Amino acid sequence: MWLAQEVIRQKRDGSALAESDILRFVQGITDESVSEGQIAAMAMAIYLNGMNLSERTKLTKALRDSGSVMEWMVDGPVVDKHSSGGVGDFVSLVLGPILAACGCYVPMISGRGLGHTGGTLDKFDSIAGYNTHPDLGTFRRVVKECGVAIVGQTAELAPADGRLYSIRDVTGTVESVDLITASILAKKLAEGLDVLVMDVKVGNGAFMQSIDEGLKLATSIVNVANNAGTNTTALITDMSQPLARTAGNALEMKEAIALLKGEVRSQRLWTVTLELAKTGLCAAGLATSDADAEAKVMHAWKSGKAAEHFEKMVSELGGPSHILTSYEQHMPKAMITKPVLALRDGYVYSTQTRDIGLELIPLGGARKVPSDDINHAVGLSDLKFPGEYVSKGQPLAVIHAESEEVANQVSINLQNAYHLSTQAPEENILIHRVIPASSEPGSSS
């Protein structure tokens, strides 16, 4: 007789779990024959004792296979990207259409924001009519016709992960690298990918604060995904300052549209987008070298082809048909704008990036808990970056709010999140490491 409590006991005592036990446990998560208490106990046992590569791979594949796994009959590689999150990170909005314009098919399943990190789906919800949860038939059609569709997770894809994550969220086990790896990859691999590119953020605006923490997660994801049969590379990139000039859903969407149309407001964001696109094209076999990949990306961007893919995707998923020129009419605006003024002259030396992101919560543009409703219009724009000089009375940022009272308090908090100095900081390292597609020696799947 198979008993969930016996499998929990094995992991509690530090033993490696057999594949059959992992499969049965995940099946029990899906059909609810395993209780919430048992799931919580297993999550804590994994958090405390860890899993080896073989266990992580088997858990990931079991979660992936708990629902539908998509298959594609298309004439190009199926590619996606995932970011571990941060402030002003709307890379997906630009990267997906660029990859599509270069010959990839991008079925990008994204999530919502929580706390200081923004969510890709929330940005698309700021476009009137855009359907972030189409049925699988519509999702397949849009990917085939537009080359890209950016939508939310459906109940058919990795349902066991949804239940497992909701319990991890309230049991202090979210930070487990083993469970983070399995959760991210279960959803991504259910997309039926040929290639996955990971963007693991590190710094004071990321979940992973240090490069060592980021390296541990990135290596785990690369090894498990490649063991599971998906060509995966990870970049470890900096999140010690906002990635874009904006933070907030409609504001980030507007900056993304400007970038797709050729206006680079944040060189940092464009550099990360370019590197991820080049990595994806090389891994997919659509470029023969880094230089070849860059030439293809630049052509897709400068020719306007990537913007066309974006506009067609928005239209096919229910949004306005001419979003590139009419977005101001179809996206919300906040009632009040208020500049955050520098209290003295100086260079922006550093930012408390997480604190900047958290200011979206009192503005109403981010969530404390997943069930919170949000205001897509509010946020921050014109964010100054470290290394830039400001004079006393010049803006460090602009607040978009619904009330003067909230704007005034957020202004004070943002002034405290910016550190000014008479000296400029050292140049920021944006891309720390690249983890290529390789597995640990002697690993098995």
Residue 359 Ramachandran class (φ > 0 left, ψ -120 to 50 alpha, else beta): alpha
Tell me whether residue 345 is one of the annotated catalytic residues.
Answer: no
Distance CA 110, CA 95 (A): 13
Please pick, among 168, 245, 254, 309, the residue that the annotation labels catalytic.
168
Tell me whether residue 83 is one of the annotated catalytic residues.
Answer: yes
Tell me whether residue 64 is one of the annotated catalytic residues.
Answer: no
Please pick, among 132, 181, 183, 220, the residue that the annotation labels catalytic.
183
Tell me whether residue 367 is one of the annotated catalytic residues.
Answer: no
Please pick, among 11, 58, 64, 82, the residue that the annotation labels catalytic.
82
Strand 195-202 vs strand 231-238: parallel, antiparallel, or unpaired? parallel
Tell me whether residue 120 is one of the annotated catalytic residues.
Answer: yes
- Name the 3-class secondary structure at 247: strand
Residues 350, 435, 84, 441, CA torsion sign = negative
Please pick, among 112, 188, 338, 400, the residue that the annotation labels catalytic.
188
Tell me whether residue 82 is one of the annotated catalytic residues.
Answer: yes
400: Cβ–Cβ under 8 A, 6 or more apart, which residues? 248, 251, 333, 334, 336, 337, 363, 377, 378, 379, 380, 381
Residues 242, 383 contacting (CB under 8 angstroms): yes
Please pick, among 21, 80, 178, 194, the residue that the annotation labels catalytic.
80
Residues 207, 114 contacting (CB under 8 angstroms): no
Please pick, among 81, 140, 268, 367, the residue that the annotation labels catalytic.
81
Please pick, among 120, 126, 232, 240, the residue that the annotation labels catalytic.
120
Please pick, among 187, 201, 367, 400, the residue that the annotation labels catalytic.
187
Which amino acid is residue 251, in one-letter code? Answer: L
Please pick, among 30, 57, 83, 173, the residue that the annotation labels catalytic.
83
- H helical segments located in 87-149: 91-101, 120-125, 136-146
Tell me whether residue 254 is one of the annotated catalytic residues.
Answer: no
Distance CA 360, CA 358 (A): 5
- Name the 3-class secondary structure at 233: strand
Q: Which residues belong to the active site?
A: 80-83, 120, 168, 183, 187-188
